Structure 1
Protein backbone atom coordinates (compact mmCIF):
# COMPACT_ATOMS: atom_id res chain seq x y z
CA UNK A 1 0.00 0.00 0.00
CA UNK A 2 1.70 3.21 -1.17
CA UNK A 3 -0.52 5.79 0.50
CA UNK A 4 -3.18 5.53 3.14
CA UNK A 5 -5.85 8.08 3.84
CA UNK A 6 -6.05 7.01 7.45
CA UNK A 7 -7.33 3.96 9.12
CA UNK A 8 -10.90 2.84 8.78
CA UNK A 9 -11.59 3.12 12.46
CA UNK A 10 -11.30 6.94 12.39
CA UNK A 11 -7.87 7.37 13.99
CA UNK A 12 -5.60 10.15 12.75
CA UNK A 13 -2.88 9.40 10.22
CA UNK A 14 0.51 8.94 11.97
CA UNK A 15 2.75 9.68 8.95
CA UNK A 16 4.16 13.19 8.65
CA UNK A 17 3.68 15.07 5.37
CA UNK A 18 7.27 16.00 4.33
CA UNK A 19 6.39 17.92 1.14
CA UNK A 20 6.12 21.35 2.86
CA UNK A 21 9.36 20.67 4.74
CA UNK A 22 11.19 19.88 1.51
CA UNK A 23 9.73 23.00 -0.17
CA UNK A 24 10.95 25.23 2.67
CA UNK A 25 14.41 23.63 2.60
CA UNK A 26 14.72 24.19 -1.16
CA UNK A 27 13.71 27.85 -0.82
CA UNK A 28 16.29 28.34 1.94
CA UNK A 29 18.96 26.65 -0.15
CA UNK A 30 18.23 28.89 -3.14
CA UNK A 31 18.32 31.99 -0.92
CA UNK A 32 21.68 30.90 0.48
CA UNK A 33 23.13 30.35 -2.98
CA UNK A 34 21.92 33.74 -4.19
CA UNK A 35 23.30 35.64 -1.20
CA UNK A 36 26.80 34.10 -1.23
CA UNK A 37 29.17 36.52 -2.98
CA UNK A 38 30.96 35.30 -6.08
CA UNK A 39 34.52 34.22 -5.42
CA UNK A 40 36.99 36.32 -7.36
CA UNK A 41 40.70 35.82 -7.59
CA UNK A 42 43.07 38.58 -8.53
CA UNK A 43 46.75 39.29 -8.24
CA UNK A 44 47.28 42.93 -7.46
CA UNK A 45 50.27 44.35 -9.31
CA UNK A 46 51.31 47.91 -8.66
CA UNK A 47 51.98 49.29 -12.13
CA UNK A 48 54.06 52.44 -12.52
CA UNK A 49 52.13 55.61 -13.16
CA UNK A 50 52.81 57.70 -16.24
CA UNK A 51 54.41 60.84 -14.82
CA UNK A 52 55.33 62.27 -18.21
CA UNK A 53 59.08 62.77 -17.94
CA UNK A 54 60.21 65.57 -20.24
CA UNK A 55 63.64 64.05 -20.89
CA UNK A 56 64.37 60.36 -21.34
CA UNK A 57 66.90 58.89 -18.92
CA UNK A 58 70.50 59.46 -20.05
CA UNK A 59 71.32 55.74 -19.99
CA UNK A 60 69.12 53.31 -21.89
CA UNK A 61 68.48 50.51 -19.35
CA UNK A 62 68.74 46.86 -20.32
CA UNK A 63 65.45 45.24 -21.22
CA UNK A 64 64.65 41.76 -19.91
CA UNK A 65 61.85 39.72 -21.39
CA UNK A 66 59.78 37.01 -19.69
CA UNK A 67 57.68 34.79 -21.93
CA UNK A 68 55.37 31.91 -21.02
CA UNK A 69 54.61 29.14 -23.50
CA UNK A 70 51.28 27.24 -23.71
CA UNK A 71 52.86 24.17 -22.08
CA UNK A 72 53.83 26.25 -19.01
CA UNK A 73 57.53 26.75 -19.69
CA UNK A 74 58.91 30.13 -18.59
CA UNK A 75 61.67 31.86 -20.56
CA UNK A 76 63.99 34.68 -19.47
CA UNK A 77 65.47 36.43 -22.54
CA UNK A 78 64.99 33.22 -24.55
CA UNK A 79 66.45 30.79 -21.97
CA UNK A 80 64.16 28.35 -20.15
CA UNK A 81 64.12 28.85 -16.36
CA UNK A 82 62.14 27.75 -13.31
CA UNK A 83 60.42 30.08 -10.81
CA UNK A 84 63.29 29.95 -8.28
CA UNK A 85 65.79 31.06 -10.92
CA UNK A 86 63.32 33.72 -12.10
CA UNK A 87 63.18 35.14 -8.58
CA UNK A 88 66.99 35.21 -8.41
CA UNK A 89 67.22 37.03 -11.76
CA UNK A 90 64.59 39.54 -10.68
CA UNK A 91 66.36 40.21 -7.37
CA UNK A 92 69.62 40.83 -9.26
CA UNK A 93 67.96 43.12 -11.81
CA UNK A 94 66.39 45.25 -9.05
CA UNK A 95 69.89 45.96 -7.70
CA UNK A 96 71.12 47.38 -11.03
CA UNK A 97 71.03 51.16 -11.37
CA UNK A 98 69.07 52.22 -13.39
CA UNK A 99 66.68 49.34 -13.03
CA UNK A 100 66.14 47.41 -16.29
CA UNK A 101 62.70 47.29 -17.83
CA UNK A 102 60.90 43.97 -17.52
CA UNK A 103 58.77 42.99 -20.51
CA UNK A 104 56.12 40.36 -19.72
CA UNK A 105 54.64 38.52 -22.69
CA UNK A 106 52.61 35.37 -22.04
CA UNK A 107 51.44 33.34 -25.00
CA UNK A 108 47.68 33.74 -25.63
CA UNK A 109 47.23 29.99 -25.12
CA UNK A 110 49.19 29.88 -21.82
CA UNK A 111 47.23 28.72 -18.78
CA UNK A 112 46.09 31.51 -16.48
CA UNK A 113 47.31 29.58 -13.44
CA UNK A 114 50.92 29.63 -14.71
CA UNK A 115 50.70 33.31 -15.68
CA UNK A 116 49.33 34.06 -12.20
CA UNK A 117 52.26 32.23 -10.55
CA UNK A 118 54.83 34.20 -12.57
CA UNK A 119 53.07 37.52 -11.83
CA UNK A 120 53.11 36.68 -8.12
CA UNK A 121 56.89 36.07 -8.27
CA UNK A 122 57.35 39.39 -10.09
CA UNK A 123 55.26 41.23 -7.49
CA UNK A 124 57.23 39.73 -4.58
CA UNK A 125 60.52 40.82 -6.13
CA UNK A 126 59.54 44.54 -5.99
CA UNK A 127 60.11 45.22 -9.69
CA UNK A 128 59.10 48.79 -10.49
CA UNK A 129 59.49 48.82 -14.28
CA UNK A 130 57.09 46.22 -15.64
CA UNK A 131 55.47 46.29 -19.06
CA UNK A 132 52.92 43.94 -20.64
CA UNK A 133 54.09 43.38 -24.22
CA UNK A 134 51.98 42.07 -27.07
CA UNK A 135 48.54 43.08 -25.79
CA UNK A 136 47.64 44.31 -29.27
CA UNK A 137 47.08 40.67 -30.29
CA UNK A 138 43.97 40.62 -28.06
CA UNK A 139 42.30 43.77 -29.42
CA UNK A 140 39.86 41.87 -31.65
CA UNK A 141 38.94 39.26 -29.05
CA UNK A 142 36.44 41.43 -27.19
Structure 2
Protein backbone atom coordinates (compact mmCIF):
# COMPACT_ATOMS: atom_id res chain seq x y z
CA UNK A 1 0.00 0.00 0.00
CA UNK A 2 1.11 3.44 -0.75
CA UNK A 3 0.87 6.09 1.89
CA UNK A 4 1.12 9.80 1.35
CA UNK A 5 3.94 11.72 3.02
CA UNK A 6 3.78 14.92 5.03
CA UNK A 7 6.59 16.39 3.07
CA UNK A 8 5.23 19.44 1.25
CA UNK A 9 8.60 20.45 -0.01
CA UNK A 10 8.61 18.11 -2.94
CA UNK A 11 5.55 19.74 -4.48
CA UNK A 12 4.03 16.47 -5.49
CA UNK A 13 0.88 16.16 -3.48
CA UNK A 14 -1.58 13.71 -4.99
CA UNK A 15 -4.52 11.74 -3.70
CA UNK A 16 -4.10 8.07 -2.82
CA UNK A 17 -6.67 6.13 -4.84
CA UNK A 18 -6.30 2.62 -3.39
CA UNK A 19 -9.01 0.85 -1.36
CA UNK A 20 -8.07 0.05 2.19
CA UNK A 21 -8.73 -3.72 2.51
CA UNK A 22 -7.92 -4.10 6.21
CA UNK A 23 -11.47 -3.30 7.51
CA UNK A 24 -13.03 -5.68 4.95
CA UNK A 25 -10.69 -8.49 5.97
CA UNK A 26 -11.49 -7.85 9.66
CA UNK A 27 -15.24 -8.12 8.98
CA UNK A 28 -14.77 -11.35 7.00
CA UNK A 29 -12.70 -12.89 9.80
CA UNK A 30 -15.34 -11.98 12.38
CA UNK A 31 -18.08 -13.54 10.22
CA UNK A 32 -15.97 -16.66 9.73
CA UNK A 33 -15.50 -17.05 13.50
CA UNK A 34 -19.24 -16.56 14.08
CA UNK A 35 -20.11 -19.25 11.52
CA UNK A 36 -17.52 -21.66 12.94
CA UNK A 37 -19.03 -21.27 16.40
CA UNK A 38 -22.71 -21.46 15.38
CA UNK A 39 -22.50 -24.28 12.78
CA UNK A 40 -22.32 -27.12 15.35
CA UNK A 41 -25.28 -25.67 17.23
CA UNK A 42 -27.51 -25.82 14.15
CA UNK A 43 -27.13 -29.59 13.78
CA UNK A 44 -27.79 -30.35 17.46
CA UNK A 45 -30.98 -32.28 18.05
CA UNK A 46 -32.95 -33.06 21.16
CA UNK A 47 -33.91 -36.67 21.75
CA UNK A 48 -37.50 -37.15 22.90
CA UNK A 49 -39.72 -40.18 23.17
CA UNK A 50 -42.89 -39.77 21.15
CA UNK A 51 -45.90 -42.05 21.55
CA UNK A 52 -46.35 -44.85 19.03
CA UNK A 53 -49.73 -45.31 17.35
CA UNK A 54 -50.81 -48.70 16.10
CA UNK A 55 -53.76 -48.11 13.80
CA UNK A 56 -54.44 -50.09 10.67
CA UNK A 57 -55.46 -48.04 7.63
CA UNK A 58 -58.94 -48.69 6.36
CA UNK A 59 -58.76 -49.92 2.81
CA UNK A 60 -62.07 -49.33 1.12
CA UNK A 61 -61.98 -49.81 -2.60
CA UNK A 62 -64.91 -47.88 -4.03
CA UNK A 63 -67.20 -49.72 -6.39
CA UNK A 64 -66.83 -48.76 -10.04
CA UNK A 65 -69.90 -48.35 -12.23
CA UNK A 66 -69.25 -48.45 -15.97
CA UNK A 67 -71.90 -46.59 -17.95
CA UNK A 68 -71.51 -47.02 -21.71
CA UNK A 69 -73.36 -44.97 -24.32
CA UNK A 70 -73.36 -46.01 -27.98
CA UNK A 71 -73.82 -43.76 -31.01
CA UNK A 72 -77.61 -44.36 -31.06
CA UNK A 73 -78.03 -43.27 -27.45
CA UNK A 74 -78.46 -46.76 -25.93
CA UNK A 75 -77.26 -46.98 -22.33
CA UNK A 76 -75.41 -49.92 -20.79
CA UNK A 77 -74.95 -50.21 -16.98
CA UNK A 78 -71.97 -52.55 -16.46
CA UNK A 79 -72.56 -54.03 -19.94
CA UNK A 80 -76.32 -54.55 -19.29
CA UNK A 81 -78.85 -52.50 -21.33
CA UNK A 82 -80.78 -49.92 -19.31
CA UNK A 83 -83.29 -47.14 -20.06
CA UNK A 84 -83.00 -43.50 -18.97
CA UNK A 85 -85.75 -43.95 -16.33
CA UNK A 86 -84.04 -47.01 -14.85
CA UNK A 87 -80.77 -45.09 -14.91
CA UNK A 88 -82.17 -42.36 -12.65
CA UNK A 89 -83.38 -45.00 -10.17
CA UNK A 90 -79.98 -46.68 -10.13
CA UNK A 91 -78.26 -43.33 -9.61
CA UNK A 92 -80.47 -42.68 -6.56
CA UNK A 93 -79.76 -46.16 -5.18
CA UNK A 94 -76.00 -45.80 -5.64
CA UNK A 95 -75.88 -42.29 -4.16
CA UNK A 96 -76.89 -43.52 -0.69
CA UNK A 97 -74.04 -46.05 -0.48
CA UNK A 98 -70.94 -45.35 1.60
CA UNK A 99 -68.47 -44.99 -0.07
CA UNK A 100 -70.15 -43.78 -3.20
CA UNK A 101 -69.20 -45.64 -6.37
CA UNK A 102 -67.10 -44.10 -9.12
CA UNK A 103 -69.31 -43.48 -12.16
CA UNK A 104 -67.25 -43.84 -15.33
CA UNK A 105 -68.96 -42.78 -18.53
CA UNK A 106 -67.69 -44.37 -21.74
CA UNK A 107 -69.32 -42.77 -24.78
CA UNK A 108 -69.06 -43.49 -28.48
CA UNK A 109 -67.33 -40.91 -30.66
CA UNK A 110 -70.63 -40.01 -32.36
CA UNK A 111 -72.75 -39.73 -29.19
CA UNK A 112 -74.71 -36.50 -28.98
CA UNK A 113 -73.67 -34.17 -26.18
CA UNK A 114 -77.33 -33.76 -25.20
CA UNK A 115 -77.44 -37.38 -24.01
CA UNK A 116 -74.22 -36.96 -22.02
CA UNK A 117 -75.56 -33.74 -20.46
CA UNK A 118 -78.74 -35.56 -19.38
CA UNK A 119 -76.71 -38.37 -17.82
CA UNK A 120 -74.45 -35.95 -15.93
CA UNK A 121 -77.44 -33.91 -14.76
CA UNK A 122 -79.25 -37.03 -13.52
CA UNK A 123 -76.15 -38.19 -11.65
CA UNK A 124 -75.71 -34.80 -10.00
CA UNK A 125 -79.41 -34.58 -9.01
CA UNK A 126 -79.24 -38.07 -7.49
CA UNK A 127 -76.26 -36.99 -5.37
CA UNK A 128 -73.37 -38.81 -7.02
CA UNK A 129 -70.13 -36.94 -6.45
CA UNK A 130 -67.54 -39.01 -8.31
CA UNK A 131 -67.97 -38.80 -12.07
CA UNK A 132 -65.41 -39.42 -14.78
CA UNK A 133 -65.03 -40.15 -18.47
CA UNK A 134 -63.15 -42.98 -20.12
CA UNK A 135 -61.36 -42.01 -23.32
CA UNK A 136 -58.77 -43.49 -25.59
CA UNK A 137 -55.52 -41.64 -26.18
CA UNK A 138 -55.44 -39.84 -29.51
CA UNK A 139 -53.37 -41.19 -32.37
CA UNK A 140 -51.38 -39.06 -34.78
CA UNK A 141 -52.19 -40.86 -38.00
CA UNK A 142 -55.25 -42.45 -39.58
CA UNK A 143 -53.48 -45.83 -39.89
CA UNK A 144 -52.78 -46.08 -36.16
CA UNK A 145 -56.42 -45.19 -35.40
CA UNK A 146 -57.64 -47.97 -37.68
CA UNK A 147 -55.18 -50.43 -36.17
CA UNK A 148 -56.27 -49.50 -32.64
CA UNK A 149 -59.95 -49.76 -33.60
CA UNK A 150 -59.45 -53.22 -35.09
CA UNK A 151 -57.28 -54.49 -32.22
CA UNK A 152 -59.47 -53.26 -29.34
CA UNK A 153 -62.51 -55.55 -29.95
CA UNK A 154 -60.26 -58.55 -30.45
CA UNK A 155 -58.44 -57.87 -27.18
CA UNK A 156 -61.69 -57.35 -25.29
CA UNK A 157 -62.99 -60.76 -26.36
CA UNK A 158 -66.37 -60.11 -27.94
CA UNK A 159 -66.78 -56.49 -26.93
CA UNK A 160 -69.93 -54.52 -27.65
CA UNK A 161 -70.27 -51.87 -30.31
CA UNK A 162 -69.51 -49.13 -27.80
CA UNK A 163 -65.86 -50.21 -27.61
CA UNK A 164 -65.19 -49.67 -31.31
CA UNK A 165 -63.64 -46.44 -32.46
CA UNK A 166 -64.91 -45.13 -35.78
CA UNK A 167 -62.25 -43.02 -37.54
CA UNK A 168 -63.69 -39.93 -39.21
CA UNK A 169 -62.61 -38.71 -42.60
CA UNK A 170 -61.25 -35.19 -42.44
CA UNK A 171 -62.52 -32.73 -45.01
Assess, with a 3 A threshold, how the Cα gap between structure 1 residues 57 and 139 changes in structure 2: closer, same or farther.
farther
Change (3 A) 1:139 1:109: farther
What is the deviation of 1:139? 8.9
Aligned-partner Cα distance in 2 for 1:117–1:139: 32
Q: Look up the match of 1:113.
A: 114
CA distance in 2, matches of 1:122, 1:64: 12
Query: Could you say which structure has the larger radius of gyration?
Result: 2
Higher-RCO chain (CA-CA 8 Å, sequence separation at least 6): 1
Q: How many residues align?
A: 86
Once the two structures are TM-superposed, the CA of residue 103 in structure 1 deviates from its matched residue by 0.5
Q: Show the counterpart of 1:73.
A: 74
Change (3 A) 1:60 1:73: same
Alpha-carbon displacement from aligned partner over 1:43-98 (angstroms, at most 9, x marks no partner): xxxxxxxxxxxxx9611111001111001101111111111111111111111111
Decide whether aligned partners of structure 1 residues 102 and 85 sit closer, same or farther in structure 2, where only a CA change above 3 A counts.
same
Q: Retained in 2: the 8 A contact 1:103–1:132?
A: yes
Point out where structure 1 has 5 or more consecutive residues left out of the alignment. 1-55
Q: CA separation in 1, counterparts of 2:93 and 2:70?
A: 24
Q: CA deviation at 1:120?
A: 1.8
Post-superposition offset of 1:111: 1.6
TM-score w.r.t. the length of structure 2 is: 0.45
1:31-46 map, 5 Å: none
1:130-141 superposed matches below 5 A: 130-134=131-135, 136-137=137-138
Structure 2 portions without partners, runs of 5+: 1-56, 142-167
| Structure 1 position 136, deviation (Å) | 2.9
Residues 1:72 and 1:61: Cα distance change in structure 2 (over 3 Å): same
